[in-house]
A and B are shown apart, each in its own frame.
Chain A
Amino acid sequence: MSAHDLVEQAVAAATAAGATSADAMLLEDDGITVLVRDGRSERVEEHCSRGLGVRAYRGTRLGLAYTNDLSPEAVAETARRAEALAEVAAEDEFAGLPDADHIGVFDGDLDGADAAAGEWSSDTWIDVAKRCEIAAREDSRITMSEGARAGGGRRRMLLANSNGLLAERNHSTCYTAMGVFATGDSGERQRDNWSSMAAHFSDLQAAEEVGREAARRAIRRCGYRKPKSGAFPVIFSPEVARDLAGTLAQAVSGGAVFRRATFLADSLGEQIGSDLLTLVDDPTLPRHVGSRGFDGEGVRSRRTVLVDGGRLESWLADSYAARRLDVAPTGNASRSFDSPPGVAPSNLVLMPGESDASELIGDVQEGLYVTELFGMGVNLASGAWSRGAGGLWIEKGELTHAVQELTIAGDLPSMLKGITAVASDLHWHGRSAAPTLRIDGLTIAS
């Protein structure tokens, strides 16, 4: 039985068992990853995963079941189990398949799959990883390699529902990542890493560049000091500005809003940040990792401006959150075969501004250029934000020495309003992009 037949059979089996509506999703995921360390391939892993999930409704009561046994008997049994479980759920007026007028596929070529992805082999990735590691070790201050990882694969998703939908998505992704240790003048040892991810091999950052950037980052950490504690301006490098963009996307996610689990729950239409802050979700950008013609429920993809000049314009919503919040779904149902849909961004872009990144640093008398955030100290409900951090100290507009073992803390409402400059240097990594930006009013502790 073909994969298309299988998802349609699953829907048919659910409705035959008594479901008033149903959908079924099949995921196929194939790929290879390698790890090269000290010039030798240390690990080679091949993966090939399949999974099928069925959502069955009895009226507005929802049951779910899944399997990775794709025999027609197991798929039919899975559909029957989903239907039987609907009995356990309560009536929920907001539950159900997306409305027909939202179903569809974005009209445009997203070019989400590399035509050569089927020929990617372990040798392809061993070559990439070896070149990456050699470049990373060019500088004699790099004293140890953690290994270069590279890999890629293809992913296909099929979705069918009882309103006649049958749609297919095809993607490829590939990545290169390098971790290195540098040894400083005083014998101190520092580790850092860099990586690149893309849908097409030719869009991947060159293996050598990934290696050299990892080395540059590890070397610049040497000679670190602990900074002073206190309130200082903080310049976020693009890689940590992306972290903030991701937090903001979670805070405007429809699921968090109807659960009252976000500090922005009552702020739609209000000015929530500086007029320099614009955040966009865009699944329609050609050749990007998060691009897609429709979401995990079959809702047509579209570009959504979430925050425009600091004003909160839209929630991110799947069809359930959209009904609860009385808005249109934005095509952000994210779903794997083994769980119900949740809300997640596609490609998330914190839009660039006009200034040069160097000007942002040049304008700071004394402050922090943060290049690393870690830990989980974000409370979306209260807006409390307290993170481990590392970076470089700025004095008189110049980057001076590395700083580590510090925290940066603030609260998200003030941070969003405290964005006082946004640079023009938009950097992409995987599904998100952000430029350098400046936030005033944060507290540094060490």
Chain B
Amino acid sequence: MTPRSPLRHFDQEFVGRALAEALSRGGDYADVFFEETSESKLTLEDSKIRSASIGSVAGIGVRVLAGDRTGYAYTEQPTPEAVLHAARTAASIADDNRDVAPISVAPGSPRDLYRAEVPLIGATPKERVVFLERADAAARAVDPRIQKVTVSLTEEVRAVAVASSDGVLVEDVQPMIMFRVGCIAEDGSIRTRGTSGDGARRGLELLDGDAPERIGRLAGEQAVRNLTAKSAPAGSFPVVLGNAYSGVLLHEAVGHGLEADFNHKGFSRYSGQIGERVASELVTVIDDGTIASERGSINVDDEGNTSGSSVLIENGILRGYLHDKLSARIMNVAATGNGRRESYSCMPMPRMTNTFMPGGPHTAEEIIASVDRGVYAVQFGGGQVEIGKGDFVFAATEAYLIEDGKVTAPLRDVTLIGNGPEVMSKVTMAGNDYRISEGMWTCGKDGQSVPVGVGMPTVKISSITVGGTA
């Protein structure tokens, strides 16, 4: 499909007038965010397409800053009157009255990080069906104990434009493809699940070659392996985290706590600690929104800043926070390109993009061999963090026991819990097998969801609480 510019209903002169209206009550910064997002989805269950859907939503959000205060309003009607009304509503966060001359905005030139060779949301979804059928067949072929397979293909094109009172006008068209497989395996009264998927800011070529079969097989194999899982141990143990997916640890234990809105207010466990040691020397953490085609990458953020790469922790020392324009103004630093929002109906906040730890000196085999009795956690169902004290959890959906330096029995789902800086100081080995995870992650904050990426080498945590029952 050829995306339509969300700016097509307005000319540049009107955009400048809307910004002036937004500042008419004394605000000192304003932006107008235009969005038109289309999505199509196919779902296959019991080996047949159960539903096909397509839709689009569009809207225009106006934000006004007055010092550290924010007013926000939006409209779903692409008319000058509706946008000016939203601008006046948002403007009232400030309580002055003044005449503001129209603001002149000039188009900027964003990055070009997305590779969508075969365009998403094609005219005939019918030709997509075969991808889902192939994944379904591959998952079922893993083992006769696979009872149920669900496959979904979601294609999204998010066209946005941001105009701000500092004179910037940028547009971006953000593709996203997501392919997911879920399986249920049964053996007698034992029932388990397996999930896998991939996603990226790419086109349908993500599913080239044997990708559907590979993704289907992974889900099937995980479900079958879990049939023989036993209860995880309870208590503190050394834990080896597998590469790629374990990046969810960084996302929870480090990333959220470094979002600057929590820091300029003094809420975060990491507030005021720039330059201090917050992790072991082996730990470097980077948030990078510029990796070509990754799920968390963006050409520009949702307030018009060019995306960037930020070193958050360097060899264990805290180096910086993730900023949006508001936090950058308050802390008097440059914005980092992390101002993101779920949609036109939400104000932006500092958010992660792709968060990862580069590789270290050890091999995965060495790391596993160094553990007498512990847990090897490979795949995760997501996590959560309490920003103030820094305690976080993440749930392993595929994990194994390590006994005498060898990976042995699969374990049932288990939660790991720890405190951010304490756990990061216990990273005692880091592998040379860094990899960014398949694009499957969505981050939630304050009710807003945005796509993100995570990456990690194999690492060893010398001790963390494992929430098992054995």
Known contacts: A260-B186, A381-B192. The answer to whether A62 contacts B50 by CB under 8 A is yes
What sequence of 0s and 1s flags, for each residue 444-470 of chain B, a beta carbon within 8 Å of any chain A beta carbon? 000000000000000000000111110
Residues A181 and B71 in contact, CB atoms below 8 Å apart: no
Q: Is the CB of A445 within 8 A of B70?
A: no
Other-chain contact of B235, A64, A229, A410 (Cβ < 8 Å): A229
Q: Kindly state whether residue B407 has any CB partner on chain A within 8 Å.
A: no
Contacts of B232 in A (CB 8 A): 386, 409
Taken residue by residue from 155 to 175, chain B's Cβ proximity to chain A (1 for < 8 Å, 0 otherwise) reads as: 000000000000000000000
**Shortest distance from the beta carbon of B248 to any chain A beta carbon, whole Å:** 11
B413 pairs with A382, CB closer than 8 A: yes
Q: With A387-B415, A443-B468 known to touch, is A68 a contact of B381 (CB < 8 Å)?
A: no
| Partner pick for B53 among A42, A65, A146, A375, CB 8 A cutoff | A65
Instruction: Indicate which residue in B74, B395, B465 contacts A405 across the interface (CB closer than 8 Å).
Output: B465
| Interface residue? A90 (CB, 8 A) | yes
Q: Are A81 and B54 in contact (CB under 8 A)?
A: yes
Complex CA gap A388/B69 in Å reads 35
- Whether A106 is near chain B, meaning CB under 8 Å from some CB there, is no
A366-387 CB contacts (< 8 Å) to partner B: 374-379, 381-382, 384, 386-387
Interface hit among B14-22, B277-285, B383-391: B383-391
Interface residues of A in 46-99 (CB under 8 A from B): 46-51, 53, 62-69, 78, 81, 85-92, 95
Q: In the bound complex, how far is the Cα of B386 from the Cα of A51, in angstroms?
A: 34
* Minimal beta-carbon separation of A130 from chain B (angstroms): 14
**In contact, B234 and A229 (Cβ under 8 angstroms):** yes
- Please measure, in the bound complex, the distance between the C-alpha atom of A239 and the C-alpha atom of B234, giving whole angstroms: 25
Interface size class on chain B is: 35 or more
Shortest C-beta distance, B47 to chain A (Å), equals 9
Q: Is B401 an interface residue (CB 8 A)?
A: no
For B384, give its contact among A48, A92, A375, A407 (CB under 8 Å): A375
Smallest CB gap from B382: residue in A: A376
**Contact at B89–A407, with CB atoms within 8 Å?**
no
Residues of chain B within 8 A of A191, CB atoms compared: 267, 386-389
Q: List chain B residues, Cβ under 8 A from A388.
A: 384, 391, 393, 415, 417, 467
Residues of B within 8 A of A43 (CB): 69-72, 93, 347
Interface centre among B50, B58, B413, B467, by most chain A C-beta atoms within 10 angstroms, is: B467
Taking CB atoms, residues of chain A closer than 8 Å to B417 are 375, 388, 405-407
Partner of A260, one of B39, B49, B148, B388: B148
A340 close to B (CB within 8 Å): yes
Interface of A is mostly: strand
CA A94 to CA B415, docked complex, whole Å: 38
Cα separation A67 to B465 with both chains bound (whole Å): 47
Q: Give the residue among B52, B57, B147, B186 with the most A Cβ atoms within 10 A.
A: B52
Interface mask (A393-430 → B, CB under 8 Å = 1, otherwise 0): 00000000000111111110000000000000000000
On whether the beta carbons of A405 and B70 are closer than 8 Å, the reply is no
- Whether B56 is near chain A, meaning CB under 8 Å from some CB there, is yes
- B257 to chain A minimum Cβ distance, whole angstroms, is 12
> A120 in the interface, Cβ–Cβ < 8 Å?
no
Q: Tell me whether A326 is interfacial, beta carbon within 8 Å.
A: no
Given contacts A259-B150, A443-B234, A443-B468, contact A41 B69 (CB under 8 A): yes
Q: Is there a chain A Cβ closer than 8 Å to B75's Cβ? A: yes
Q: CB of A205 within 8 A of chain B? A: no
Q: Given A44-B71, A66-B53, are A382 and B467 neighbors across the interface (CB < 8 Å)? A: no
Cα-based distance from A408 to B414 in the complex (angstroms): 10
Q: Does A304 contact B (CB under 8 A)?
A: no
Residue among A78, A88, A259, A409 making CB contact with B414, cutoff 8 Å: A409
A189 sits at the interface (CB 8 A)? yes
User: From residue B452, how far is it (CB to closest CB) to chain A in Å?
Assistant: 16
Question: Is A259 touching B184 in the complex (CB atoms < 8 A)?
Answer: yes
The reply to whether A144 and B266 contact each other, CB–CB distance below 8 Å, is: yes
Q: Is B418 within 8 A of A405, CB to CB?
A: yes
Known A377-B413, A382-B193, A386-B413; contact A406-B465, beta-carbon cutoff 8 A: yes
The complex places the Cα of A146 from the Cα of B68 at a distance, in Å, of 14
In the complex, 25 of the A-B residue pairs with CB atoms within 8 angstroms, ordered by the A residue number, are A43-B70, A46-B89, A48-B76, A62-B51, A63-B51, A64-B52, A66-B56, A66-B57, A85-B53, A89-B51, A92-B50, A190-B388, A191-B387, A229-B235, A265-B191, A339-B53, A376-B382, A379-B193, A379-B412, A381-B191, A382-B191, A382-B413, A384-B412, A407-B417, A407-B465
Q: Can you name 12 extra interface pairs (CB under 8 A) apart from A85-B125, A86-B52, A189-B388? A: A43-B71, A43-B72, A43-B347, A45-B71, A49-B76, A381-B191, A382-B226, A382-B412, A386-B232, A387-B467, A409-B415, A409-B468
